[in-house]
Amino acid sequence: MVLTTALIMFSVLIVTLILGFPIAISIGISSILAILPSLAFDNTLITGAQRIFSGISNFTLIAIPFFILAGNIMNQGGIAKKLVSFAQSLTGRVPGSLMQTNILANMMFGAISGSSVAACAAMGGILLPMEKEEGYDPILGATVNISTAPTGLLIPPSNSLIVYSLVSGGTSVAALFMAGYIPGILWGLGCMILTFFLAKKRGMKGKAAAKFSVVFATFVDAIPSLALIVIVIGGIIKGIFTPTEGSVVAVVYSLLLSMFFYRSITVKQLVKIFEESAKMTGIIVFLIGVSTIMSWVMAFTGVPQAISNMILGISDNKYLILLLMNVLLLFIGTFMDVTPAILIFTPIFLPIVKTFGMTPVQFGIIIVFNLCIGNITPPVGNTLFVGVKVAKLKMEDVMKEMVKYYAVIIAVLLLVVYVPQLSTALPKLMGLIK
């Protein structure tokens, strides 16, 4: 029964995706068809509906729509330019300074907005024209923007980590948030080092270093934006409020900042922002609901245990098995979005890594890191396509440069996989995990 279920489920999922079905519909159809041999038709439909409802009836999930809303408010609220000015003041003398600015700004804005696509579009729209005026290589500039946009999905607050917390059985969101900082920063730092050498080789000189007064002034101007991260993450870590309450604080703060401090959003614009946020929330919640059906089908028929036994039967070398799992996750990320992939594959791989003594916190960072790379890889990488479109370039030209950045990002990923302290040091320091 296990083999039959797995074959039906994954075959139907792949076929429907190839045919162009929305990912949520593909997951729902493949799950229902996979369980039909085990349950009567009526029972299958009833059970499926119950699982959707139970999957989305979780208090922690309320944080997702609020973080989405806060991110959309910040996207429209003039926050990007403040962060770009501050980042630019820090990177003035470095070769390829505008590209280095792009990386820093992506890390800061991505963390605030919680969206790699938003970071890529906002920063690309601001910095790529500036780079063109300075005579930068447009292909390299676009590549830098694309390759660092997903850092904000690791640097909290991160909806992906909230989803992982739910599906992994209640792993501490605060611990996951703290665990994401070092891997996210290392991703950005690795790209900065590569960009430094490429820019220097191609003669892209930096400008004179900004005076301390300029750096200080741009920092002060960016403080209200950066304070969102400090307030929300600090409040969650200190136990002042839960992640769900923190998401509401983020909405209130971003509204006050954008409407009254910067005065960059009108009531008319706010209506559109609410509408866009509601649509995005509906998509994500529906994905979570139907993915819960698939998770239940796999658990009911023993698919995760069968896959676990198969992988563990290949070798008893944990380093080899971890490498194999990462290859599989990287492949999965090339054709599946982050949220459904987390919901589907966490129940399969988490029991395996627990046999090695890996904490759920470290694995959460590993799976999100892997799937974030999928955001910038073909054929489904939304951030990649947005970045190419913003830069008005051809995909094949950008991909030639992207290969170098893929190598650096995967090297950082392997460090995160094989050096647990990179994920666990901060949560342990804060007393969030033992």
Residue 152 pLDDT level (bands cut at 50, 70, 90): confident
Q: What percent of the chain has pLDDT over 70?
A: 94
Residue 227 pLDDT level (bands cut at 50, 70, 90): confident
**pLDDT recorded at residue 365:** 96
Residue 357 phi, psi (nearest 5): 85, 10
Model confidence at 114: pLDDT above 80 = no
Whether the CB-CB separation of 80 and 216 falls below 8 Å is answered with: no
Amino acid at 272: K
CA distance 290 to 325: 24
Model confidence at 96: pLDDT above 60 = yes
Q: Crossing angle of helices 159-167/360-373, nearest 10°?
A: 130
**pLDDT recorded at residue 136:** 87
Residue 43 pLDDT level (bands cut at 50, 70, 90): low
Question: CA torsion angle for 102, 105, 107, 110 (degrees, to 10)?
Answer: -110
Q: What average pLDDT does the structure give for the chain?
A: 84
Model confidence at 367: pLDDT above 90 = yes
CA distance 403 to 383: 16
**pLDDT recorded at residue 182:** 95
Lowest mean pLDDT among 104-113, 262-271, 320-329, 336-345: 104-113
- What SS3 class is residue 359? coil
Residue 310: CB atoms within 10 Å: 9
Residue 142 pLDDT level (bands cut at 50, 70, 90): very high
Q: Which of 28-32, 312-316, 349-353 has the highest mean pLDDT?
A: 349-353
Q: Which of 16-30, 316-330, 379-393, 403-417 has the highest mean pLDDT?
A: 403-417
Task: Check residues 56 and 256 and name the one with the higher pLDDT.
Answer: 256
**pLDDT recorded at residue 209:** 59
Model confidence at 71: pLDDT above 80 = no
Place of tokens 């493949």: 30
pLDDT tens per residue across span 86-95: 877 777 677 8
Whether the CB-CB separation of 5 and 307 falls below 8 Å is answered with: no
Report domain extents, the chain.
2-429
pLDDT tens per residue across span 169-225: 889 999 999 999 999 999 999 999 999 999 888 877 666 556 777 778 888 888 887
Q: Which of 4-13, 183-192, 282-291, 391-400 has the highest mean pLDDT?
A: 183-192
CA distance 364 to 362: 5
Q: Which of 95, 57, 94, 121 is nearest to 105 (CA)?
A: 121
Whole-model pTM above 0.95?
no
**pLDDT recorded at residue 41:** 59
Q: Crossing angle of helices 173-201/395-418, nearest 10°?
A: 130
CA distance 410 to 152: 17
Please enumerate in sequence order all residues whose Cβ is within 8 A of that of 11, keeping only pairs 6 or more positions apart, or say none: 30
Residue 412 pLDDT level (bands cut at 50, 70, 90): very high
Lowest mean pLDDT among 33-42, 224-233, 297-306, 404-413: 33-42
DSSP string covering 69-110: HHHHHHHHTTHHHHHHHHHHHHSTTSTTHHHHHHHHHHHHHH
CA distance 338 to 183: 17
Model confidence at 146: pLDDT above 90 = yes
**pLDDT recorded at residue 322:** 92
Mean pLDDT of 405-424: 96
Model confidence at 332: pLDDT above 80 = yes
Query: Where does residue 269 rank: exposed (0-12), middle (13-18), buried (19+ CB within 10 A)?
Result: middle
**pLDDT recorded at residue 180:** 94
Task: Check residues 430 and 48 and name the one with the higher pLDDT.
Answer: 430
Please enumerate in sequence order all residues whose Cβ is within 8 A of that of 237, keeping only pairs 6 or more positions apart, or say none: 174, 177, 178, 430, 432
Model confidence at 347: pLDDT above 80 = yes
Please enumerate in sequence order all residues whose Cβ is within 8 A of that of 240, keeping only pairs 6 or more positions apart, or say none: 234
DSSP string covering 247-309: HHHHHHHHHHIIIIIS----HHHHHHHHHHHHHHHHHHHHHHHHHHHHHHHHHHHTHHHHHHH
Model confidence at 380: pLDDT above 80 = no
**pLDDT recorded at residue 36:** 76
Whether the CB-CB separation of 167 and 342 falls below 8 Å is answered with: yes
Q: Which of 383, 381, 403, 388 is nearest to 194 (CA)?
A: 403
CA distance 73 to 361: 30
pLDDT tens per residue across span 256-269: 888 888 888 888 88
**pLDDT recorded at residue 208:** 59
